Amino acid sequence: MSDNLQEKESLNFIESIIDKEIKEGKTNVYTRFPPEPNGYLHIGHAKSICLNFGLAKRFNGKCNLRFDDTNPVKEEVEYVDSIKEDVKWLGFEWEGEERYASDYFDQLYDWAEKLIMEGKAYVDDQSSEEIASQKGTPTKPGQESPYRNRTVDENIDLFRRMKAGEFKDGEKILRAKIDMASPNMHMRDPIMYRIIHKEHHRTGNKWCIYPMYDFTHGQSDYIEGITHSVCTLEFENHRPLYDWYLNQIIDTEYRPRQIEFARLNLSYTVMSKRKLLELVKEKYVSGWDDPRMPTISGMRRRGYTPESIRNFAEKIGVAKRENVIDVSLLEFCVREDLNKRADRLMAVLDPVKLIIDNYEGVEEIVSVENNPEDSESGFRDIPFSKEIFIERDDFMEDAPRKFFRLSIGKEVRLKGAYIVKAESVVKDSDGNITEIHCTYDKESKSGSGTEASERKVKGTLHWVSARHAVAVKVRQYDRLFNNDDPAAFDDYKTYLNPDSLKVLDNCMAEPAINLLKPLDTVQFQRQGYFCMDKDSTKGEIIMNRTVTLKDGWAK
């Protein structure tokens, strides 16, 4: 029966393709995640990672991590390291050691010579401008290069001299000889190798010619035994070239297959590496791991969990249709996860003092459950006293009838403690409330079992005992852009949300906050989920707001 259920589970279109192939006798599934180490991974990459590793897992296959490092101008070791960390953090394990396209440079070079020998590639002496001008347009065919019909001997000689470093950057180039009239621009004698005199993060100064993406990717797949080369839609037009190159070198039955899917777009954010890099370089954010960034490292610092991101990737599905996922789905996923696992803590973000005038004694201890969603999580003790802080928003002198919080003459429950009634307020010369004076019902203590403790009151407030309060700094993060599709505009930066970060310096938390370590997540009761920032020190606790709680009141 359970088998039946599993069979009924719907497959995405890639899984359907593989499922069909397996039924037709194909035996293995081998995928790869192929980032270029020229930036940090973002939530869009997470979709691809979950897809590729997920496919391997589902079909008992393998998945490689391969760095597509064919352009030393843009690539750096810093990015390699961060990418490895992020993939691991997301919970995936690649097959063996990570791979590098640069590991295949020798083989790629040999294949290039082979193509030259067969008259299928030639060296072009023209400038990039000249080549571009002969390329034609999508609706007009291109013209053939005057160097297109050089002899094999001449081409080989020139190519070897390119490799030997006899020419400057841009002086010569190796092109495949395909079809300048092809309706597919990528087939109009695409560039295979260009000269770049620049040290490579892996191969050092061994090479001064580097292969282009198209001449690298399919062959790398072939070398690694990849069966399904899953990439995003913009490579759809490259597929004929992917296949053409493979046709030149393959002499076995095995052949990798490119399949394209629609990349992830998220509302209220930008996803392109170029734009993210701009935000970092121009200091609109504090770095790649700024908690407002849609990068994996930013989300980690913000307090997102790997589980919530994987679950998100599962929920958004995989298809070929352009899509913009509502960021509220991401928020739903992290709340869903954190609700189950985050211990509750009380913290007052905008404190105002509340004094219980008839409170007897100095202080006492109350006991509160750590997480009502997790019976294993137990209870903790919290100090309570005559003077406490509550949220400024939780008090109104004259409240509308739907206001379930504190106002003069009205009662509320202090979470885990007593029911209090507001009697009067003290204000400063500007009219700001500085103290709220209350009386409490001595018999109403939570859990005491008395009749008074069972009384129902409209609202329950979080609070912190004034003399025990721990000062914390809170960073309230909000969406980075205030337009739901900023990427649609060239001047997307004008849509940056000026309130995407609010720093609150005078927050007060209960003493248990001292037990937290960096990256620990808690729920501040009635506020949201917060994650201790890595910049916290002994003297200063910094909490990043991951996401607010859903607010059913929302004035």
Partner RNA sequence: UGACCCAUGGUGUAAUGGUAACACUACUGAUUUUGGUUCAGUCAUUCAAGGUUCGAAUCCUUGUGGGUCAACCA
Percent composition of the chain: helix, strand, coil (DSSP 3-state, to 5): 35, 25, 40
Shortest distance in whole angstroms from residue 135 CB to RNA: 4
Closest to RNA by CB, 89 or 213: 213
Closest to RNA by CB, 298 or 416: 416
Closest to RNA by CB, 156 or 196: 196
Q: Which of 146, 183, 225, 518 binds RNA (CB under 7 A)?
A: 183
Q: What does residue 121 show for φ and ψ, rounded to 5 degrees?
A: -150, 150
Q: What does residue 336 show for φ and ψ, rounded to 5 degrees?
A: -55, -45
**Rounded to whole angstroms, how far apart are CA atoms 310 and 312?**
5
How big is the chain, counted in residues?
Answer: 555
Shortest distance in whole angstroms from residue 140 CB to RNA: 8
Q: Which of 11, 77, 152, 164 binds RNA (CB under 7 A)?
A: 11
Q: Counting contacts by CB under 7 A, is residue 281 touching RNA?
A: no
Of the candidates 95, 9, 12, the residue with the CA atom closest to the CA atom of residue 60: 95
Closest to RNA by CB, 30 or 215: 215
Q: Which stretch binds RNA (CB under 7 A): 53-61, 498-506, 518-526, 531-539?
A: 518-526
Q: Counting contacts by CB under 7 A, is residue 402 touching RNA?
A: yes
Q: Which residue has the tokens 């843009």?
A: 74
CB neighbourhood size of 485 (10 A): 16
- How many CA atoms within 13 Å lie on the side-chain side of 25? 0
Q: Counting contacts by CB under 7 A, is residue 238 touching RNA?
A: yes
Q: Counting contacts by CB under 7 A, is residue 416 touching RNA?
A: yes
Q: Counting contacts by CB under 7 A, is residue 194 touching RNA?
A: yes
Q: Using CB under 7 A, which residues numbered 354 to 373 contact RNA? A: 371-373
**Rounded to whole angstroms, how far apart are CA atoms 117 and 128?**
24
Q: In Å, what is the CA distance from 166 to each residue of 78, 137, 148, 160, 209?
A: 31, 33, 21, 9, 11
Size of the site for RNA (CB under 7 A): 91
Q: Using CB under 7 A, which residues numbered 206 to 235 contact RNA? A: 210, 212-214, 217, 233-235
Going by the DSSP 8-state scheme, the letter that residue 29 receives in this structure is: -
Q: Counting contacts by CB under 7 A, is residue 197 touching RNA?
A: no
Of the candidates 352, 347, 344, the residue with the CA atom closest to the CA atom of residue 374: 344
Site string for RNA, 111-150 (x = CB under 7 A): ---------------xxx--xx--x-xxx-----------
Q: Which residues pair with 155 in a beta bridge?
A: none
Q: Counting contacts by CB under 7 A, is residue 525 touching RNA?
A: yes
What are the DSSP calls for 437-499, one per residue? EEEE-GGG-TTS--TGGG---S-EE--EEGGG-EEEEEEEE--SBSSS-GGGSTTGGGGB-TT
Q: Counting contacts by CB under 7 A, is residue 476 touching RNA?
A: no
Q: What does residue 174 show for φ and ψ, rounded to 5 degrees?
A: -100, 130
Site string for RNA, 35-74 (x = CB under 7 A): -x-------------------------------x-xx-xx
Q: Counting contacts by CB under 7 A, is residue 181 touching RNA?
A: no
Q: Counting contacts by CB under 7 A, is residue 170 touching RNA?
A: yes
Residues marked active site are found at 36, 263, 273
Closest to RNA by CB, 244 or 290: 244
Q: Which of 5, 365, 503, 554 binds RNA (CB under 7 A)?
A: 554
**Rounded to whole angstroms, how far apart are CA atoms 41 and 264?**
13
Closest to RNA by CB, 413 or 475: 413
Q: Using CB under 7 A, which residues numbered 257 to 276 contact RNA? A: 262
Q: Which stretch binds RNA (CB under 7 A): 6-14, 104-112, 247-255, 352-360?
A: 6-14
Shortest distance in whole angstroms from residue 430 CB to RNA: 25
Q: Counting contacts by CB under 7 A, is residue 320 touching RNA?
A: yes
Q: Counting contacts by CB under 7 A, is residue 456 touching RNA?
A: yes
Q: Counting contacts by CB under 7 A, is residue 332 touching RNA?
A: yes
Q: Which of 247, 328, 367, 434 binds RNA (CB under 7 A)?
A: 328
Helical pair 43-58 and 306-316, crossing angle rounded to 10 deg: 80
Give the rounded distance of the alpha carbon of 137 from its chain centre.
37
CB neighbourhood size of 407 (10 A): 19
Shortest distance in whole angstroms from residue 149 CB to RNA: 19
Non-local CB neighbours of 213 within 8 Å, separated by 6+ positions = 68, 70
